[in-house]
């Protein structure tokens, strides 16, 4: 419970700090997850047997809000708050569905071209399983094992930006061992997720407002200068 409170406190602090960043951009994203789990028995006499071949990819989804904090012209920090489904499915039709509230914090490197930009992502994530079904390993021990709710890991990805739209692919490498009891058969249980998503970045109204004000001020200065020139007394020459 303390970890959950820390997670949500971090999210709250991020959004409280948002108004102090003039260049921040908000966005939304949604997409598909291709989720699997690394399942391994590390208690065997052979030093450990990976049993992931018995478990196949399950189709899921993710959606949520994103924020972008520019650090330089090419680098930005992108926290997000997402609902994400993970898990796997076995050849015996047993299914693992896990529903996470997830906080990724990616560092984004951008390469600009004329019409598009290339994006490269890397960063940590932490998630909390809101709910999910129990993992039932009937192929070996006919036992039920619950799963730890806290997940964390590393995201790596790449994408393309076209106007305000972002298209990206991302791989989530889970580092947290979700097995609560390592004396059971599956002593290692970790998430592995490939995500495809489409995002949209909203325009920064505050920046547009400041830009428009600057244009208005320049226009006023130009008009005042022209009026001054018009009021300069003309010197009349007499023959």
Looking from the CA of 117 toward its CB, the CA atoms found within 13 Å total 15
More confident call, 221 vs 215: 221
| In the predicted structure, residue 208 carries a pLDDT above the cut 90 | no
The structure tokens listed for 206 are 């505050």
- Residue 236 or 39, more confident: 39
> How far apart are the C-alpha atoms of 106 and 89, rounded to whole Å?
29
pLDDT the model gives residue 89: 79
Nearest in space to 17 (alpha carbons), one of 64, 67, 75: 67
Partners of 158 in the β-ladder: 120, 169
Both tokens of residue 94? Answer: 């047993």
Helices marked H in the chain: 2-17, 205-231
Residue 232 CA to residue 168 CA, distance in Å, equals 61
Whole-number pLDDT of residue 149? 87
Query: Which residues does 190 contact at the CB level (< 8 Å), separation at least 6?
Result: 37, 38, 153, 174, 175, 176, 177, 178
pLDDT single digits (tens) 144-194: 456 788 999 999 999 999 989 999 999 999 999 888 765 555 678 889 999
Q: Pick the more confident residue, 218 or 156.
A: 156
Provide the pLDDT for residue 97: 83
Q: How is 93-141 classified by DSSP, letter by letter? A: S-EEEEEEEEEEEEEEEEEE-SSEEEEEEEEEEEEEEEEEPPEEETTTT
Whether residue 239 is predicted with pLDDT greater than 60 in this model: the reply is no
What is the per-residue pLDDT across 93-115, written as a single tens digit (0 to 9) for each? 567 788 999 999 999 999 998 88
Q: What's the rounded Cα separation, in Å, for the pair 198 and 25? A: 16
Q: Name the residue with higher pLDDT: 176 or 13.
A: 176
Highest-confidence segment of 39-43, 63-67, 142-146, 189-193 = 63-67
Spatial separation of the C-alpha atoms in residues 112 and 219, rounded to whole Å: 31
Q: Is 30 exposed, middle or buried (0-12, 13-18, 19+ CB in 10 A)?
A: middle
- pLDDT reported for residue 138: 38
For a pLDDT cut of 70, what percent of the chain falls above it? Answer: 59
Mean pLDDT (the chain, rounded) = 75
What is residue 12's predicted lDDT score, i.e. its pLDDT?
53
Q: Which residues contact 108 (CB under 8 A, 6 or more apart)?
A: 68, 75, 76, 77, 78, 119, 120, 121
pLDDT at site 189 = 82
What per-residue confidence (pLDDT) applies to 213? Answer: 42
| pLDDT for residue 61 | 95
pLDDT of residue 91: 61
Most confident range, picked from 18-22, 32-36, 56-60, 128-132: 32-36
> Phi and psi at residue 212, in whole multiples of 5°?
-65, -40
**pLDDT value of position 212:** 43
């Amino acid at each position: 419970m303390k970890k959950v409170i820390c997670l949500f406190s971090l999210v709250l602090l991020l959004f409280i700090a948002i108004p102090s960043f003039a260049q921040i951009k908000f966005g939304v994203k949604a997409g598909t997850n291709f989720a699997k789990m690394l399942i391994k028995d590390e208690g065997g006499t052979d030093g450990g047997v990976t049993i992931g071949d018995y478990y196949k990819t399950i189709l899921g989804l993710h959606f949520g809000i994103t924020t972008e904090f520019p650090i330089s012209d090419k680098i930005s920090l992108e926290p997000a708050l997402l609902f994400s489904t993970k898990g796997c499915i076995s050849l015996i039709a047993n299914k693992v569905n896990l529903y996470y509230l997830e906080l990724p914090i990616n560092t984004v490197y951008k390469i600009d071209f004329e019409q598009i930009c290339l994006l490269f992502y890397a960063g940590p994530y932490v998630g909390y399983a809101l709910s999910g079904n129990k993992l039932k390993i009937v192929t070996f021990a006919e036992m039920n094992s619950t799963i730890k709710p806290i997940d964390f890991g590393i995201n790596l990805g790449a994408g393309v930006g076209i106007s305000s739209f972002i298209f990206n692919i991302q791989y989530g490498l889970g580092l947290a061992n979700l097995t609560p009891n390592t004396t059971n058969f599956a002593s290692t249980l970790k998430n592995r997720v490939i995500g495809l998503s489409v995002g949209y970045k909203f325009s920064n109204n505050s920046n547009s407002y400041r830009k428009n004000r600057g244009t208005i001020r320049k226009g006023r200065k130009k008009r005042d200068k022209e009026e001054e020139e018009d009021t300069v007394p003309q010197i009349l020459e007499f023959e």
